[in-house]
Structure 1
Amino acid sequence: MAIVSTLKRKAEEDLNSEEPKSKKIRASFGPTPEIPVGILWDSVNYSCSYDSLFTILCEIWIYNPKSWTKTFYSFGNQGKILSEGYKKVIRGLETLENVRNDVHESLKQENSDLFPYGQTGTDIRDLISYIFTSHHNISLGYRRLTCNICDFFQDLDNPPERVMSILDGTYKSINEWLQQWLMEPSICDCGSPMATSRIYDQPPSLLVFSLNTSRVSISKTIRIKGSNGKFTVLPLRGIIYSGGFHFTSRIITPGKEVWYHDGMVTRRNCIKKGHLTDFTGDSLKICIEKNSSGELVERQAVVAIYSKK
């Protein structure tokens, strides 16, 4: 009890602190502050997409609850439910499973076709798109077509967002694809090279990639150029895998430890798999782990999440 009380007191201090510490200390949900906490799979309402995403987001949020609560609020109603729910879990007033269920219920009320109950399940791509994209009417930046030779420019629709879909497998890595996406080359009517620039007004705190090709490797960091011309580096914080009608995840801590979670098999536990330096960009694309029957199953990466520390 003394350990739990100490952790709860640490969490309260972190929630009320105005300035983040120079070295982040995890405010744990349990008596082991160095180990991420997973979410138990719901066998009635297949929940693996929610379990995978919300376990990663929980591990991101918990290192700086005050700052991330503000960010989660910008995601709309579901982000607010998540952050307020995480606060209750830290204080011992709620479980992560109930928080997940509250978000699922909110999503179902808004779109029962995409987020049903029962064994139909929810596609992870629908989940990340709905939670993170701009249907909340928050502009993150602008998209501009520019030619420096004839001084032509035009602002375009579809500004940059938090979720990007990678369809083209000609690029070696997520970061290589991102750099091309941020400054996409083309040819002006005057015959000169021009580019479509996607510029974030503020350095994004979190970016999510939907991977629709297995050929692009998982970058360990990504770089984003802001409107001030400076680059922001975001480290990899989570990967979601798909295979066998099931989603699982790897969680990467600020210290670059890699943990594995499967709400059906590992339940609330996360299993340490090593350090990020033990993995290559290609090996991160594949996750081979035992399923509930004890058989090894190979799953492909379908989502990669990057965030500030």
Structure 2
Amino acid sequence: MRQKSQTAEDAKFRTALENMRYRSCTLEDIQFLRGRVSANIEGRQSVCDINFRNVSIITARHVNKDAINVLEEQRFASEHNQVLTTFYCEDTVAPIADLDEVKGKRRATKVRLEENIQRILWKQPACSVEKKIPTKLNLCKGLPVMLRDNSATELCMTNGQEGTVYDWVSAVGVYGQLVLDVLFVELKSPPVSVQFEGLPLNVVPILKTANPTWCELPSGKRMHVSRSQVEVTVNYAMTDFASQGKTRVNNVVHLNDTTSHQGYYTALSHSATASGTLILQAFNPSIISDKKCSGALRQEFRDLELLDDITHLQFEGKLPASVIGDTRRTLVRAFRQHKSDSYVPQHVHSAIQWNKKQPYVEPDFNNLDWSIIPTQQVTKFLSDDYVKQMKDKTDSWKTDHIDCSNPVVEPSLLDSHNMERDTADNSCAYDTVITLLYNAWLDKPSSVLAFPELSNNLFPAIAELFDQVNRGQESLTETRDYMRQALCAQRPNEFSYGEYASVSGILDVLFGCTSGQINLSYSCAAGHCTSTLSAPHASFLVSLESTASTSVEAWCSSQGSETRRLCVVCSEGILVKQMYTYPPYFIAFDFVAGAVHIDRKVYLNVHGTDVPYHLKSVIYHGRSHFIGRYIDKRGRIWVYDGMS
């Protein structure tokens, strides 16, 4: 806390911050901080007050910062009768064909993105970019901004410096959009005055720069680009990280998404006074109280207290000559050997004091011999051989966990009828499901005409569309879109259009069974407490998360899983077993965690008859993308990745 005064309120605030640092706030501290929460009540401070209304808000998450800045820049323009002008970034990439040619050279050839990809990136928020460089800047004169680059530290043009928009020089980009060439910013309270020739005092030019960074697409995939943009952000909100080093006369903080006491301390400790501190909403007091800080952090604080004591004695010339050390560990150890292991400096906070019950933990260490390694002996942290081995292990999982008794050829691409993948609307899960189901429908016996075991009318409707696709009267893309719209209508929260969806969620709806198709039988291993109930919500999607089955065949043999209930007779665990009234045509398994052996053929017992089931498809998930493999009637394996 950079105090500017010392009132009774400031003393309480300082005590609360000191306790907060060690996660040991008292009830009095919590009550005091709650009095700093914004409220439209007489006698209380509010964010609507003139001294807080235009103050940049400290928050924990970039997504909150971006949302606040968008709202506040619109408010600023409205209140000052100005129009926001949007300036877009320009992204370039290195063409794949040139990678080998430019390898080893200092600079690679860059090409601009295709217009449709560039426009997708323009819609992404700044928080989706690794270096948080905004895709577009909405600016008007007088708008508060913050510099995000150390372009000229000697001229106060540093990362975190605040200011306002004075003027700009713009140009037209490659796709007809406005781009910034130079932004003139009037610095706010710089450490020293800055004067550029031809510009007013403290007005500095911020030039457009090009920086390599990773961008995230709506599908979750990442793209490496070189982004050209003036590195500033609107300054109505900042993260707690960006706020470090600032003393704020009026300090507005948003603590709802802050998950640690260090985050609370970082945000609140920038206040110059208690009266100038405002908390936007109610906060969680358990984060800054109830428990002690972590053991490692507590040990760090203890070391700092001892080092502070050593420094104080050294300054006063009272440090014994025997207390020496080249490293922190050796110095602290020598000091404790001189004083005694029970010695605690006088002003150590009670939350980190050590005694016999809570001893000072001195880590084991040995004096290490340092040597300079010749350059030719230095190798990469991960060798090429190691990376190749790990990649081979990852790729082999797709076949090693499938029981392939017959040899198969290299997987070929599965025909998806040129289905258009909707990248912007995250259609990956729907694409994979509809493609694999369509091919399974093509391979079904001619005797299978209906699916009476399914309760949802959606799958029979999709099967009719499959028939039209096969006759060329419908496209698979239109069938997929029909399924998406129907799922969104049935479960809008789970299948919101344009949002990510899970394959298991889709199959759970499509394979929902009619009432009475699945019964649950409860009993212990000895046969006590037997009871049978109709499953309230059931589908032919089986989750193996709560089972001990190591393979699909193992589950089919038992068709059950353990529960947390105990038998009242023998105190053994109660097992629940799924009993099928009618053998379904489709049955799916969801491997939530762990590796489960996938058998090529299994038998499901229905009323004492073993019904054979053959493996038709496997869906893998990773990096926000689904890939499917399909096995046709001849045992050939086909692959679908939605991108080839």
| Candidates 68, 76, 82, aligned match of 2:462 | 82
Counterparts in 2 of 1:93 and 1:179: CA distance versus 1, 3 Å: same
Q: Which moved more, 1:69-78 or 1:243-252?
A: 69-78
The alpha-carbon deviation at position 65 of structure 1 amounts to 6.8
Measured in 2, the distance between the counterparts of 1:63 and 1:104 equals 24
Give yes or no for the alignment of 1:163 onto 2:570.
Answer: no
Counterparts in 2 of 1:258 and 1:149: CA distance versus 1, 3 Å: closer
Equivalent residue for 2:511?
132
Measured in 2, the distance between the counterparts of 1:105 and 1:73 equals 23
Give yes or no for the alignment of 1:71 onto 2:451.
Answer: yes
Q: Is the 1:85–1:94 Cα contact (8 Å) retained in structure 2? A: yes
Q: Is the 1:236–1:252 Cα contact (8 Å) retained in structure 2? A: yes
Measured in 1, the distance between the counterparts of 2:532 and 2:504 equals 28
Q: Is the 2:426–2:500 Cα contact (8 Å) retained in structure 1? A: yes
Q: Secondary structure at the match of 1:225?
A: strand
Counterparts in 2 of 1:73 and 1:252: CA distance versus 1, 3 Å: same
Q: Which moved more, 1:72-81 or 1:200-209?
A: 72-81
Equivalent residue for 2:603?
223
Measured in 2, the distance between the counterparts of 1:113 and 1:150 equals 42
Q: Which residue type is aligned with residue 103 of structure 1? A: M
Measured in 2, the distance between the counterparts of 1:64 and 1:202 equals 18
Q: Which residue type is aligned with residue 221 of structure 1? A: K
Equivalent residue for 2:425?
45
The alpha-carbon deviation at position 143 of structure 1 amounts to 2.0
Measured in 2, the distance between the counterparts of 1:239 and 1:96 equals 20
Larger Rg computed on CA atoms: 2
Q: Which residue type is aligned with residue 624 of structure 2? A: F
Equivalent residue for 1:199?
579
| Candidates 237, 261, 276, aligned match of 2:640 | 261
Equivalent residue for 2:404?
none
| Candidates 630, 633, 637, aligned match of 1:251 | 630
Q: Is the 1:250–1:260 Cα contact (8 Å) retained in structure 2? A: yes
Please give the per-residue CA displacement for 1:191-218, whole angstroms capped at 9, x wherever unaligned: 3988644221122221111110132122
**Paired residues, what number?**
228
Unmatched tracts of structure 2, length 5 or more = 1-411
Greater RCO structure (CA 8 Å; 6+ sep): 1
Q: Secondary structure at the match of 1:70?
A: coil
Counterparts in 2 of 1:71 and 1:220: CA distance versus 1, 3 Å: same
Q: Secondary structure at the match of 2:559?
A: helix
Give me the identity figure in percent. 22
Measured in 1, the distance between the counterparts of 2:492 and 2:575 equals 40
Q: Which residue type is aligned with residue 234 of structure 1? A: Y
The alpha-carbon deviation at position 254 of structure 1 amounts to 1.8
The alpha-carbon deviation at position 64 of structure 1 amounts to 3.2
Equivalent residue for 1:279?
none
Counterparts in 2 of 1:113 and 1:188: CA distance versus 1, 3 Å: closer
Equivalent residue for 1:176?
554
Counterparts in 2 of 1:152 and 1:212: CA distance versus 1, 3 Å: closer
Please, what is the CA RMSD of the aligned residues? 3.1
The alpha-carbon deviation at position 84 of structure 1 amounts to 1.2
Q: Secondary structure at the match of 2:421?
A: coil
Q: Secondary structure at the match of 2:603?
A: strand
Measured in 1, the distance between the counterparts of 2:595 and 2:581 equals 31
Q: Which residue type is aligned with residue 109 of structure 1? A: A
Q: Is the 1:169–1:216 Cα contact (8 Å) retained in structure 2? A: no
If each structure's strand is expressed as a fraction of its own residues, which one has the higher value? Answer: 1
Task: Report 1:85-164 matches (<5 A).
Answer: 85-118=465-498, 120-134=499-513, 137-145=514-522, 153-158=530-535, 161-164=539-542
Q: Secondary structure at the match of 2:588?
A: strand
The alpha-carbon deviation at position 247 of structure 1 amounts to 0.9
Normalised to the residue count of structure 1, the TM-score between the two structures is 0.64
Equivalent residue for 1:11?
none
The alpha-carbon deviation at position 40 of structure 1 amounts to 3.5
